[in-house]
Structure formats: C-alpha cells, structure tokens
Structure 1
Amino acid sequence: MSNPHVTLSGHSGHAIAALTEGPEQGFPVLLAHGGGQTKRAWKQVTAMLARHGFRAIALDLRGHGDSAWADDGAYDIVDFAGDLVAIAGSLDRKPALIGASLGGLAGIMAEGEVAPGSFASLTLVDITPQMEAGGVTRVVGFMAAHAREGFASPDEAARVISEYLPHRPSRKASSGLAHYLRLKPDGRYYWHWDPAFIDGIMRRNAERGDGSDYGRGELGEAAARLALPVHLIRGGSSDLVSPEAVAHFRALVPHAAYSDIADATHMVVGDQNDAFGDAILDFLMRTHGTEIAA
C-alpha cells in the first residue's frame, strides 16, 4: 500500500490514527490495543495477518498515540466503542475486531450495546466483564504513577517498565520506546496518551470502591447479547482474568471459542506473540477463511 498511515473518523468525526497492512481487498481486521498502548503493539500481528491475505487495520485509540485527544474528557468505554462502530461502518464490509484489554471492553460494548451487527467476529485478548481487583489496580497504578510528572530520560521510563514487567529481560531504552514517549519543552519525557484518560478511570474506580467492577454489570449484559462469532484468549498467568472469570464469560457467551496462552501474562501479545498469532489465525481462518481475497 502506498500510504499505510491513515486517519479515520471515529464517533462525531474524532480523528483516529491507524496503520494498515495487507491487500486493499483483503478481509478487514480491526485491531484495538489496551490502555496506554498504541497501534505499534500489533506490529508483528499485522504483518502475519497481511501475509495470510487479511487487511489489518491497527488503531490508535482516542487519546493515545497519534489520535486526537478528547477535549471534553470523553474516555468512557462507550466513547471508545463509538469510535469502533464508526470506523467499522466506514469500511466496505464488516470487519473482524481484535481487542486487547481496553480495546476488548470497547468491543463488547460496541457489539453488545451501541450497535449490534457492526462486526463480523470479535476476539477478546485477556479481558472479560469480570476482572480481578488486584490486576486492575496494578495496571491502573502503573499508568497513573508517571502520568503527570513524566520521566527525566527514556532510560528512566525503560526502568519503570522493567519493574512493571519483571518476567521480561531488562533492557535500556530502545528506539521503539520513543514511540511511546513525548519530549516536551520542559525537557521531560511523557507517555504518549492523555493523562485525562487515566484520571477518569481512577475517578470511576473510586466511585465504585472496587477496581474490578469496571462497569461489570453493563458489560456483562452487553456480553450476554453477543451473537457473532467470539474468541476469548487468556494469558495463562494473567492476574486480571482468572479461570473463574473465564467460566463466568463462557456462561454468558456459550458459543465463544477459547484459547489459553501458556506463560503469558495480561500482556499476551508481547509475552507470547507467536502463540498468540497462531491462536488468532486459526480462529480467523475457520471463521472467515472463505472470504479472504485471493
């Protein structure tokens, strides 16, 4: 493709940056990352999908990466869901949606509540309506810790990431980390996402008194209405989605396929990219294989 970097229109025209890969007429697959990530989280996945004839469209969710920030602080799940619905509706056919964490929550709400029938299938990456409070607290705590004050250097940011992901080899700042940081006039480096996003999550969690209940009732109701093909992928060592949460989800969505990725935490894609790729490709080929452009 001549220009893989595009800007798409989310809800009410909100500017959403995206990276596309694969044949123009290939079956479209939208990829929505987790909170605090960007479209780069799917780099190896989009290449794999493209090789198999899919048209991969990796998004920067609102307030993240190169997408526009919400001046009105509109970072509720329904806002992210509205963007996904708008983008899906702009394509020439219904896309498959793969959503990790925040992207998956938005997918559940989009298909189960906002606009049923928007997607051809839904893959949820280590996310269910029921979440472990400790896992939610750890994720939110990491994002909030340096949201306002930033870092003195990329190496400091790399150290903080290593402490958050102790199971991965420690390393100094790489060129890839530069895509997640912004150097501001004060000489400090800040995450690429809008601090108002995490402020909103912390405020809502405080109001509920339990970080595990991220709209669980509403999300559970939306999940129970999912009629399209669904695939739940769990990190085998996830501290956010427990086996009990999986059982709860499978009771809500009994037709859902299920994959458990061994030796992967909540950060499934980064921990076990090859195994994750095999799992999503198997589901997509079984579900949409006959629709892939030659």
Structure 2
Amino acid sequence: METGMITGSLARPDGRLCFDRLGTGPDMLLLHAGGERRRVWHPVMEHLARHGCRAIAYDQRGHGDSIKGRAFALPAYGEDTIDMIARLTMPVVVGASLGGFAALLALADAATEANVAGLVLVDVLPDPDPRRTLRFLAPLGMDTSPLVADILGRRDQLRQITRRLSLPILAIRAGASAGIRDSDADRFLELAPQAQVASVAGAGHLIARDKPVELAALLADFQRSDAVRDRRTRGPRSAG
C-alpha cells in the first residue's frame, strides 16, 4: 500500500516525462495548464488519495523536469498523453487548459478512448474564443506563443473530436473568471450532450491552485458517478 508520494518517469522516443503518484484505487491522470508544473496538483492529489483514488500528475513536455523538445505544437502533447493513458487502467483523465487540449487530441485515438473511464476539462473547452484567449494571455506574455497559435488553429478539429466522444465528461468552470461564459457552456453541451458542467466559486483560471479542496471533491464525485463506474465495469474492450 502506498503511503507517500512516488516519483517516476515515462520514457518517450525523445526523452522522459516525469510524474508523481499518490494513493491507491482507481486511476486519475492529472494534466496541468501551460506554464505550470505537476506540483500544482499536489494538494488535489492529497485529497483524492483520501477519497480512495490513485492520482498521477505529470510535468508535460516543455515544463518542469520533463523533456523540453517539441513543445511548440499540440500533437506532441497528445502523443505523450496517449502513452500515459496506455500505462493506466481505465483512468479518469483530468486536463486543465493545455492539459485539456492534450487530452482531447489523445482521445481522437479510438483505442485510447476505449481505455478511459471519463474526461474532466478544467476551465477549458474545445473551441476557445481566439480574441478573448489572446487578450487573457497577453499580460502573461503568452499571446505570441507558437503553441497557443497551434491550439487556436485546431478549434474545428477539437470540436469534431468532442462531438464523437461517448465517454462521461465533466467540465469545471472557474467561478471568478469570465473565461467560460454561459454561451460557451451551452455550445459545449450541444457538442457533448452527455456532459455535465460545474463551477468552483471564487476560483480563477488555475482552479487547482486556487481551490484544491473544492476541485478534488468534484473530481472524487465524478470518479464515483454511475456513468464512470458503469464504463469502468464494462472495461476497455467493450467501451469503444
């Protein structure tokens, strides 16, 4: 039985991706936002472990201790995520901002989707408004990032992927941010009618940092939901 944080790495063709793991129970893969590191998830992981989950958080490429190369376009992140998921058993995949886009691109692969019990998008939707996104990122100096341009250019692709998904989905909005408007949420629910939308009061875009306890509670509830449990019971072979 795991009693403390375990650190490890996943070999990729061009280097290694570093991760932390905590807890025992059903797997939950945590993918951080751009400019963050896996440690932003540590408070969330501690609460998830107490809720009977095994949480795994990676430094995505170009971040923290992981490989720095090929960090300018989303496909590399999607390929990494496919490899992460392949090492787990029917995880719930949680993606914040950049992590959400990486998760969606990974789920375009049918075999990967079949091995995922559920998807949580944390203050991110498949088709962000380009003007609002760039306006938000400008004070951070990220509005001219090639990665941002690549993601915004994939809005139609990410919408199509979302429309095809059959797995349970939860979108969590930041209550103190105007990043996701009601009209955005309505558009998302048209793409994914099986999805649910929740919000975390008082949280900004980085919900894991601002409200880790509240976020962990929503994730644990989703993990225990009938839809996720049923999909996990059916297993990867019948889920696709």
TM range (shorter): 0.7 to 0.9
Aligned to 1:6: 8
For residue 45 of structure 2, give the secondary structure of its aligned residue in structure 1: helix
TM-score by length of 1: 0.70
Task: Answer whether contact 1:126 1:234 (CA < 8 A) is retained.
Answer: yes
Q: Relative to 1, partners in 2 of residues 1:272 and 1:256: Cα closer, same or farther, differing over 3 Å?
A: same
1:141 correspondence with 2:162:
no
Task: Answer whether contact 1:82 1:110 (CA < 8 A) is retained.
Answer: yes
* Deviation for aligned residue 1:18: 0.3
For residue 72 of structure 2, give the secondary structure of its aligned residue in structure 1: coil
* Superposition pairs of residues 60-99 of structure 1, within 5 angstroms: 60-70=59-69, 73-91=70-88, 93-99=89-95
Task: Answer whether contact 1:264 1:271 (CA < 8 A) is retained.
Answer: yes
Within 1, Cα distance between the matches of 2:52 and 2:31? 19
Aligned to 1:251: 190
Within 2, Cα distance between the matches of 1:282 and 1:33? 20
Q: Choose 274-283 or 35-44, whichever is displaced more.
A: 274-283
Q: Percent identity?
A: 29
Aligned to 1:218: 157
Query: Residue 75 of structure 1 aligns to which amino acid in structure 2?
Result: F
Task: Answer whether contact 2:61 2:71 (CA < 8 A) is retained.
Answer: no
* Deviation for aligned residue 1:239: 3.0
TM-score by length of 2: 0.85
Q: Choose 233-242 or 53-62, whichever is displaced more.
A: 233-242
Task: Answer whether contact 1:33 1:99 (CA < 8 A) is retained.
Answer: yes
* Deviation for aligned residue 1:29: 0.8
Q: Relative to 1, partners in 2 of residues 1:102 and 1:62: Cα closer, same or farther, differing over 3 Å?
A: same
Within 1, Cα distance between the matches of 2:149 and 2:172? 29
Query: Residue 215 of structure 1 aligns to which amino acid in structure 2?
Result: R
For residue 88 of structure 1, give the secondary structure of its aligned residue in structure 2: helix
For residue 202 of structure 2, give the secondary structure of its aligned residue in structure 1: coil
Aligned to 1:100: 96
Q: Relative to 1, partners in 2 of residues 1:280 and 1:286: Cα closer, same or farther, differing over 3 Å?
A: same
For residue 254 of structure 1, give the secondary structure of its aligned residue in structure 2: coil
- The match for 2:125 among 125, 128, 140 is 128
Query: Residue 220 of structure 1 aligns to which amino acid in structure 2?
Result: R
For residue 108 of structure 2, give the secondary structure of its aligned residue in structure 1: helix
**Count of residues in Structure 1 that have an aligned counterpart in Structure 2:** 228
| Superimposed CA distance per residue, residues 143-196 of structure 1 (whole angstroms, 9 cap, x where no aligned partner) | 437xxxxxxxxxxxxxxxxxxxxxxxxxxxxxxxxxxxxxxxxxxxxxxxxxxx
Q: Which has the higher Rg, Structure 1 or Structure 2? A: 1
Query: Residue 127 of structure 2 aligns to which amino acid in structure 1?
Result: Q
Aligned to 2:43: 44
1:200 correspondence with 2:146:
yes
Aligned to 2:113: 116
Within 2, Cα distance between the matches of 1:215 and 1:286? 31
Q: Relative to 1, partners in 2 of residues 1:113 and 1:221: Cα closer, same or farther, differing over 3 Å?
A: farther
Within 2, Cα distance between the matches of 1:14 and 1:96? 25
| Superimposed CA distance per residue, residues 43-92 of structure 1 (whole angstroms, 9 cap, x where no aligned partner) | 1110011112211101100110000111xx3432221111111111123x
Task: Answer whether contact 1:27 1:54 (CA < 8 A) is retained.
Answer: yes
For residue 29 of structure 1, give the secondary structure of its aligned residue in structure 2: strand
Aligned to 1:17: 18
Within 1, Cα distance between the matches of 2:108 and 2:73? 16
Task: Answer whether contact 2:74 2:147 (CA < 8 A) is retained.
Answer: no
Q: Relative to 1, partners in 2 of residues 1:42 and 1:214: Cα closer, same or farther, differing over 3 Å?
A: farther
Within 2, Cα distance between the matches of 1:261 and 1:107? 21
For residue 116 of structure 1, give the secondary structure of its aligned residue in structure 2: helix
Segments of 5+ residues of structure 2 without an aligned counterpart are 234-240
Query: Residue 225 of structure 1 aligns to which amino acid in structure 2?
Result: R
Q: CA RMSD in A?
A: 2.6
Aligned to 2:26: 27
Aligned to 2:216: 277
Task: Answer whether contact 2:85 2:91 (CA < 8 A) is retained.
Answer: yes
Query: Residue 172 of structure 2 aligns to which amino acid in structure 1?
Result: I
For residue 204 of structure 2, give the secondary structure of its aligned residue in structure 1: coil
Segments of 5+ residues of structure 1 without an aligned counterpart are 146-197, 206-212
* Superposition pairs of residues 172-187 of structure 1, within 5 angstroms: none
